[in-house]
Structure 1
Amino acid sequence: MNSECLVCQAKTINHIANKFGSDKKATAKFKEEANYIVANSQSLSTPYSGLLLHRLAKRIFKTENLYANEKLKANKLLHLNYSYWKSLVSNSDNPMHVAAKLAVIGNIIDYGAHSVPDDILSEINHLLEKEFALNESEEMFEAINNAKTVLYLGDNAGEIVFDKLFIETLNHPNLTFVVRGEPIINDVTYEDSHFVQMEDVCKVISNGHDAPSTLLENCSSELQKLYRDADVVISKGQGNLEGLLDEKRNKLFFMLMAKCDLIAGKLGVKKKDLVIKQNKK
């Protein structure tokens, strides 16, 4: 694991300890075991290390869904204004472009990357004025138009509202949206897809795993087959990118905001830049 990732993991440990630290004995135990995980995770990917930290937190603090309140708040905030976002898209000169941009902007709601602004709506409106630093959306739209099957790997609660709007705008007849197998940080699960009624616009499945990423070797056989067979795969967010960046397959598109200098550097952009990129063989 890169040294920059170690710093981010230390932030995660402190954040969880502060969030659930009313029991000093439990907090001390969590910090001790969490620091041991990070100190011995050099050979692990960042998403897998994050998975171990959050499994530990669930066990010690006896809380299955560590970010339940944050997830519900983000879902309510954006879903409450769904008709507004939909009109913003439909009344624009390029609805597909605006819907895709909103889907990328929604990626700011990421408690794992410590990127959630105090005023989410204000930041969304600010980012709507920002241009993509890397934009291969036309290649993505063309690939989707020619695809018989599309696999869409979801990322975060709140963000899922804009995912639904984008999927609704795409209007593809055979698109499958993927959620995590269990709660992890503020990543999407079936509970979030039900809340935004994602099932109204596409099929929804679980990937069968609780990493804050798509780690294919750990996912269900159903997800692995869908991934292999899909004509197009859309990967939302930095966590999914970290799990799939070394994948060698055609028609894999990453949609995200770059949350750290390390990932931004790999993409050739700057931190906080908006990105739609095809991962070419």
Structure 2
Amino acid sequence: MKITDSCIDCLISRVQLECRLAGADSLITQRTMDSCRHLLLSLKTTQLSHPQIASRVHRHAYEMLNTPDPFRELKDQGNAEAIAVCRDVRPGISSFRDFVLASVIGNTFDYGVKGHTVTTNFSTFFRQEFSKGLVIDDTDRILPLTGRVVYLSDNCGEIVFDRLLIQFLKSRGSHVTLAVKARPALNDATLDDARMLGLDRIVDCLTTNCESAEIGICPEESTPALKDALSRCTLVIAKGMANFESLFERDDLPPVAFLMAAKCQPVAHEAGVPVGSKIALLRE
């Protein structure tokens, strides 16, 4: 997917959030936002995808703010809250569809998307959204493909619900390679987050999507372990909008199950659903 004017506004609003989280004063905030906007506009007409442009902009913001991880506190809060909610709702989750839906609801742990707010009472929100189900539900077609899975993760908080789905897949005999972020990028889960949750002891292979701080994925630039896993898997599970934007238009991959909440208009339009829809969409 290519970048739109609404994407630009959303990206700059995230830079502003990064400035606030880093404790930047008004002068540094304005300089950072102006510099990031200039960089963004210079990249807009290139062949880079939206996630590739966004990754470059956010890396630039982190450099200007001299901070390696402005979202660290929010990420820790998200994981802690998700752990508590999972403990509460786990008894009511049993089928593959249930675990997928829980994972998709977890995708709403996403800070800085313009027009999207992370709820302050996630337990109540989870139960409300769970009762609504999926707007696109391809789970019956997805499940038979789960013999060998590459799981592309997204946010902290969300990854706690991913752990439930991964445990279900492992209980059925699936081979699972989990790819997280190599370095901090927004509130995305990194190797440290995955290990803190014990995912390195659950999955068959824990790796990263690439060597740098990329919010999406470019298969050609992925780690050797991930390239190998992609070449042998029966299914890619792609969590979140950045992975959707990175892979949706590609036709050179194994079947891909896009699990996400469509939190913005461009992504919702591409998926053919209203904004806010929760989907489990299979592309074969």
Q: TM-score, normalised by structure 2?
A: 0.90
Distance 1:21 1:72, change over 3 A: closer
In 2, are the aligned partners of 1:78 and 1:161 still within 8 Å (CA)? Answer: yes
Listed as ranges, the gaps of 5+ residues in structure 2 are: none
The number of residue pairs the alignment matches comes to 273
Counterpart in the other structure of 1:110: 110
Which of 255, 259, 272 aligns to 1:255? It is 259
Distance 1:109 1:196, change over 3 A: same
Q: Counterpart amino acid of 2:156?
A: A
Equivalents in 1 of 2:85, 2:13: separation in Å? Answer: 32
In 2, are the aligned partners of 1:37 and 1:49 still within 8 Å (CA)? Answer: no
Distance 1:89 1:131, change over 3 A: closer
Which of 35, 38, 47 aligns to 1:36? It is 38
Which of 254, 261, 266 aligns to 2:270? It is 266
Listed as ranges, the gaps of 5+ residues in structure 1 are: none
Aligned sequence identity (%): 23
Aligned residue runs from structure 1 range 226-265, under 5 A: 226-248=229-251, 249-265=253-269
Equivalents in 1 of 2:90, 2:127: separation in Å? Answer: 14
Counterpart in the other structure of 2:184: 183
Of residues 267-276 and 73-82 in structure 1, the stretch that sits farther from structure 2 once superposed is 73-82
In 2, are the aligned partners of 1:112 and 1:186 still within 8 Å (CA)? Answer: no
Equivalents in 2 of 1:131, 1:124: separation in Å? Answer: 11
Q: Secondary structure of the residue that 1:254 maps to in structure 2?
A: strand
| Superposed CA RMSD | 1.7
Aligned residue runs from structure 1 range 85-96, under 5 A: 85-90=89-94, 95-96=95-96
Counterpart in the other structure of 1:75: 79
Counterpart in the other structure of 1:151: 150
In 2, are the aligned partners of 1:153 and 1:234 still within 8 Å (CA)? Answer: yes
Distance 1:227 1:12, change over 3 A: same
Q: Deviations over 1:232-251 (max 9, x none)?
A: 11111111111111221342
In 2, are the aligned partners of 1:235 and 1:241 still within 8 Å (CA)? Answer: yes
Deviation at 1:228, TM superposition (A): 2.1
Deviation at 1:178, TM superposition (A): 0.9
Q: Secondary structure of the residue that 2:134 maps to in structure 1?
A: coil
In 2, are the aligned partners of 1:75 and 1:161 still within 8 Å (CA)? Answer: yes
Pairing 1:17–2:19 present: yes
Deviation at 1:143, TM superposition (A): 1.3
Q: TM-score, normalised by structure 1?
A: 0.91
